[in-house]
Every structure is written in structure tokens, then in C-alpha cells.
Structure 1
């Protein structure tokens, strides 16, 4: 994990295919303290479905989901 330009933790999962992006996102959020903001970059087409679904199922907050030229950028927050 690295730091995003806004200071949030960043997880670059570009190049990984389903189910790895959602599994690694979940692992990172489980290990993070409450209140952590995580930016996830993924180019797997199913990440656009899987990551929002993960948030709904596990109670993480999906702050933003943006389509970029070659990937998607998700901003997530782990609640208390």
C-alpha cells in the first residue's frame, strides 16, 4: 500500500483479475483501523460491480467510484 495525493492509503490493483481485486481490497480494509480512507485502483471490469457490493455487504462506505481512461478509482472508508 502507498499514499494517495490526499494522504489516504492507496491500493493499486491494476493488472489483477477477478476475484483478486475485491479480495485484496477486503483484506486491506479488515487490517486497517476504523476511519481509514482507502483509494483502490483497478482495471478489472468486474471490480465496478464487486467493490461496491463488498461495501454494501460489509458496511464499508463507498465515497466515490470514478471511471478513468484505463481503470476505475474507488474511494472507500472503513467505519467504526
Structure 2
């Protein structure tokens, strides 16, 4: 289940994490935020943000669509 999608494709570090933090700030506890990012640095950055914020990193996977490859990170805040 996805509650919020943050499309950070095309944005470079640290913007994907900043966008995640902004979405998490206004989300109710238990909300699943999915971050889409093309920046490889987002993978370890989002994992680190989850550890620092006690959020649950549900899943991270690289995938692709007609626009190209991107990271899909699911975070429960």
C-alpha cells in the first residue's frame, strides 16, 4: 500500500532525501512514502535517513519504465 509518492527523478543529492523529509513531516504516523529517484546516492541516503529518524525502510529496488532506470524506495514514517 502506498499513501504518498515523492517523484524526485532527475534531482541530485540531497534533494531526494529533503523531499522525503518534507513529505514525512506532514504525513500521519504509519504512512508509506514512496520515493522515486534516479540519483544512485539516494539509495544509501534514504537508508541512513530512516535509521536517523526511526522510520522503517520497507523496500528499495531499482526498476525501469519508458523514462529509464530509477530507484523505488518505500518508507513507513
- Measured against the shorter chain, the TM-score band is 0.7 to 0.9
Q: 1:7 to 1:26 in 2, by over 3 A?
A: closer
- How many residues of Structure 1 are paired with residues of Structure 2 in the alignment? 73
Aligned ranges for residues 38-53 of structure 1 at < 5 Å? 38-53=33-48
If the length of structure 1 is used for normalisation, what is the TM-score? 0.85
Deviation digits for residues 25-71 of structure 1 (CA, Å, limit 9, x no counterpart): 11111111111111110011100110000000011100000111311
Structure 1 segments of 4+ aligned residues over 2 angstroms from their partners: none
Q: 1:67 to 1:60 in 2, by over 3 A?
A: same
Structure 1 residue 27 corresponds to structure 2 residue 22: yes
If the length of structure 2 is used for normalisation, what is the TM-score? 0.88
Q: 1:60 to 1:45 in 2, by over 3 A?
A: same
For 1:66 and 1:7, how far apart are their aligned partners in 2? 15
Check conservation: 2:2, 2:34, Cα contact below 8 A. no
Deviation, 1:7, is: 4.5
Task: Name structure 2 gaps, 5 residues minimum.
Answer: none
